[in-house]
Amino acid sequence: MDANEGGGRGAPAGESGPVVTAAGAPGAEVPGEVPGPGEAAGGVPGEADATAGEVPGAFGGVAGHGAVRAPGIAGLSLPYRSLAALALGAVVVTACWHLAMVFLHVAPANTVSRKHAGTVDEWIYPEFEQNWKLFAPNPLQQNIAVQVRAELRTPSGERVTTGWRDLSAEDGAEIRHNPLPSHVHQNELRRAWDFFTGSHDDQNRANGERGRLSEAYLRRIAMQRLHERRPAGVVERVQLRSATRAVPAPPYSDEKTDTQVYYRELPWWNVTAADLPATAAGAQREETAP
């Protein structure tokens, strides 16, 4: 018998006819048969659910079929990954360099710290200076006040010496009860005095260029503070001194403390135009003009 008999005429070559299942009805499912890959539940190839195989992308979109975007930096494109790696490397190198400089600054003097002292100081001062006196076995137990007086030449030509003015007390008044005190009021004068005492001997003689630089720094601070009060004349000379008084022992202690005030007077310094603030220098030139 012809193969097409009883089943109708066969489809021409290259054409597909209807799918005939065992039950003899097109499109009917065979009990127990599971649709293959890419087939819909009705058994027709190519009509799979449109969302099958779609995976949410890293930024909320939908990635391609079967593609999963890696989380974090790995999910970025190659240029962005390279940029992120360079930024991370720069942060790591900077952090390691900073830690090394701070270690050499606070560590006991050694061959490496002495050889690279200039590099360490340039990196540390003034932003990253370390001061461990608060945690030292013997913290500071003295109150040191810096005071200044001036020699003025009045408009009548008379020379007048002012009384001592306590600059440290003025800074303390600006800081007290101030939730956001100025860095200048807290540290400028104190650091300038420490700079001076660390670069001079007990006879107030400068130890090299740093000593002379500390003197100029103190004079400029003193002149700035004096001209803020508008002195009644031209300042020709200034003199500074420190008043040191030991912190008394607490009431519950039997320790005896010498609370007498000890003074350290510096010599008189002549004032030059370089020691004056810009506005004060201009005003002084006008006063001395014929």
- Which pLDDT belongs to residue 282? 52
Residue with tokens 């989380």: 71
- Mean pLDDT for all residues in the chain: 79
Cβ atoms of residues 246 and 192 within 8 Å? no
Render pLDDT for 226-269 as a digit per residue (tens, 0 to 9): 998 888 889 999 999 999 999 988 888 888 889 999 999 999 99
Q: Checking phi first, is residue 155 left (phi over 0); if not, alpha (psi -120 to 50) or beta?
A: alpha
Please list the residues that pair with 240 across neighbouring strands. Answer: 148
Q: What is the pLDDT, as a whole number, of residue 23?
A: 46
Which pair of structure tokens corresponds to residue 92?
Answer: 């790591």
The separation between CA 88 and the C-alpha centre of its own chain, rounded to angstroms, equals 17
pLDDT at residue number 52 = 47
Lowest mean pLDDT among 25-29, 185-189, 225-229: 25-29
Cα–Cα nearest to 97, from 123, 126, 116, 129: 123
Cβ-contact 65, 54 below 8 angstroms: yes
With cut-offs at 50, 70 and 90, classify the pLDDT of residue 197: very high
Counts of helices then strands in the chain (DSSP H, E): 8, 6
pLDDT for the residue numbered 196: 96
Q: In this structure, what is the dihedral angle of CA atoms 68, 69, 71, 72, given to the nearest 10 degrees? A: 170
- pLDDT of 3 > 50? The answer is no
Q: Considering the entire predicted model, what is its pTM?
A: 0.54
Condensed to tens digits (0 to 9), the pLDDT of residues 85-129 reads 999 999 999 999 999 999 999 888 889 989 999 999 889 887 787
Please check the confidence at residue 22 and state whether its pLDDT lies above 80. Answer: no
Helix or strand (DSSP H, E) at 151? strand 142-153
Residue type, 289: A
Amino acid letter, residue 172:
G
- Residue pair 238/148 in contact (Cβ under 8 Å)? The answer is yes
